[in-house]
Chains A and B, each alone.
Chain A
């Protein structure tokens, strides 16, 4: 069963760029060129992350890295479903989530399009945060924690920190409002 996961997972990701691979070579690839979207989804069956959330995260990741920008089209539901062999409702759920977050919107009869960008914290601020984190890491190291211990402690603190807070969409809206003024 593990082998199946691996093969189908990577097969999905690599099937489209190499049309020669696979038994049915005449099948046109359901690639990004056909669907008009700059990105193509892949799935990591071993990650344990729910499928719809993987799609949401991949869109967010693509936004942070600039693969996607406002106005770009997300893969059509039918194309995403045909290339990943997943339930259409999963894709719809991911797109709904992106709409709730204000990142995308559906246009009737056309598809789903990117609405916003994921604005990042300004570089100097990032550097300051990075420095203070290094300071904390030094003290954790000094206290005798190894790397795994540090990761476990950090993840646990991160969970506690965000547990009581608002929904992620609200947080993002706040942050975006704040940085847009600066940039």
Chain B
């Protein structure tokens, strides 16, 4: 099942296309990181997925084919927008009351217990809470709806390191307990590596990379060797290369960790951050399941 699926999806605000010709599938059961340069259309894509915006072109469905924005979709999805939307003059208790009455399903017991654990006073006005507490309140209200899909747009952007850690710890613990799917957009690549097990890289409204993180890391490596060895380079699928007069660093895509290292070259594992940066620098390169992978595989794979 796909928690979000789009086909030829586009959104135009007046004269400008925020997202164009976007076709992707985000599988269920994952914590999916949506990354891409500023203006790639990540927020637009998430807004379309949760039903806060309507497409100008194309189709978007959620939770295994339900039209985005339909009652069934709204019931199963919780969304925390970038600016942690809370009614600042309302008390925490009033925010709870409001959210409970605006939603068909709301686990009041969970919300109260969680806020108690966090030491967030019910009487305090939402606007008077610390940034980290506001984020935790917004998250608690979202999780109390017991969503099958939690969508987070840049959840860590304005949080200090401790608040980031606590926020993601809450999300991950909920995933462990309830098996909820998560889609989050973020610029904090180093932290994504810990939480995300599926990566989607969007640039220019096009999906450049979509795969499980483990699979991406095991099919990419850095090769360091002589810059003069042009023949070796031709035999490899080079995503990005950095070359000086004598030495070259190539980020290459392989068939897997068992792929032989070319003679005279040294292989290093690649981090998710390096991998994302390499693809961002090479908008023409792509790593997608399906056609790209099969065209790369050769019949001699049997022996390994």
Q: Is A78 an interface residue (CB 8 A)?
A: yes
Q: How far is A5 from B116 in the complex, measured between Cα atoms in Å?
A: 28
Residue of A nearest to B172 (CB): A81
Q: Which residues of B contact A23 (CB under 8 A)?
A: 130, 132-133, 162-163
Q: How far is A127 from B158 in the complex, measured between Cα atoms in Å?
A: 55
Q: Is B299 an interface residue (CB 8 A)?
A: no
Chain B 118-159 per-residue mask, 1 if CB under 8 angstroms from chain A, else 0 = 111000000000101100000000000000000000000000
Q: Is A45 an interface residue (CB 8 A)?
A: yes
Q: Is B290 an interface residue (CB 8 A)?
A: no
* A84-B169 in contact given A23-B130, A24-B118 (Cβ < 8 Å): yes
Residue of B nearest to A51 (CB): B194
Q: Which residues of B contact A1 (CB under 8 A)?
A: 188, 190
The interface-forming segment of A25-33, A115-123, A134-142 is A25-33
Chain A 15-27 per-residue mask, 1 if CB under 8 angstroms from chain B, else 0 = 0000000111111
Q: Which residues of A contact B118 (CB under 8 A)?
A: 24, 26-27
CB <8 Å contact, B162 and A22: yes
How far is the CB of B129 from the nearest CB of chain A, in Å? 11
Size of the B side of the interface (Cβ < 8 Å), in residues, is 35
How far is the CB of B117 from the nearest CB of chain A, in Å? 5
Q: Is B202 an interface residue (CB 8 A)?
A: no
Q: How far is A48 from B203 in the complex, measured between Cα atoms in Å?
A: 27
Q: Which residues of A contact B217 (CB under 8 A)?
A: 50
CB <8 Å contact, B165 and A8: yes
How far is the CB of A43 from the nearest CB of chain B, in Å? 8
CB <8 Å contact, B162 and A11: yes
Contact of B271 among A25, A48, A85, A93 (CB under 8 A): A48
* A78-B166 in contact given A4-B188, A48-B271 (Cβ < 8 Å): no
CB <8 Å contact, A87 and B161: no
CB <8 Å contact, B166 and A24: yes
Q: How far is A4 from B76 in the complex, measured between Cα atoms in Å?
A: 33
Q: Which residues of B contact A83 (CB under 8 A)?
A: 169
* A86-B194 in contact given A8-B165, A77-B176, A81-B172 (Cβ < 8 Å): yes
* A86-B119 in contact given A7-B161, A7-B162, A23-B162 (Cβ < 8 Å): no
How far is the CB of A16 from the nearest CB of chain B, in Å? 12
Q: How far is A81 from B177 in the complex, measured between Cα atoms in Å?
A: 10
Q: How far is A16 from B31 in the complex, measured between Cα atoms in Å?
A: 26
Residue of B nearest to A4 (CB): B161
- For the A-B complex, the count of residue pairs with Cβ-Cβ distances under 8 Å equals 90
Beta-carbon contacts under 8 Å, B271-285 to A:
271
How far is the CB of A173 from the nearest CB of chain B, in Å? 22
Beta-carbon contacts under 8 Å, A82-102 to B:
82-91, 93
Q: Is A37 an interface residue (CB 8 A)?
A: no
CB <8 Å contact, A87 and B175: yes
Q: Which residues of B contact A28 (CB under 8 A)?
A: 117
Q: Is A58 an interface residue (CB 8 A)?
A: no
Q: Is A12 an interface residue (CB 8 A)?
A: yes
How far is the CB of B14 from the nearest CB of chain A, in Å? 36
How far is the CB of A36 from the nearest CB of chain B, in Å? 16
Q: Which residues of A contact B163 (CB under 8 A)?
A: 23
Q: Please indicate which of the listed interface residues A22, A43, A45, A86 has the most CB atoms of chain B within 10 Å of its own CB.
A: A86
Q: Is B211 an interface residue (CB 8 A)?
A: no
Q: Which residues of B contact A126 (CB under 8 A)?
A: none
Q: How far is A81 from B132 in the complex, measured between Cα atoms in Å?
A: 19
Q: How far is A78 from B171 in the complex, measured between Cα atoms in Å?
A: 11
Q: How far is A28 from B173 in the complex, measured between Cα atoms in Å?
A: 15
Q: Is A3 an interface residue (CB 8 A)?
A: yes
Residue of B nearest to A78 (CB): B176
Pick 11 A–B contacts, CB within 8 A, sort by A.
A7-B161, A8-B164, A24-B118, A27-B117, A28-B117, A45-B190, A50-B217, A83-B169, A85-B168, A85-B194, A88-B172
Interface, chain B (partner A; CB < 8 A): 31, 116-120, 130, 132-133, 161-166, 168-170, 172-173, 175-177, 188, 190-191, 193-197, 214, 217, 269, 271
Shortest 8 CB-CB distances between A and B: which pairs? A26-B119, A88-B176, A85-B169, A82-B173, A85-B168, A7-B161, A81-B172, A78-B176
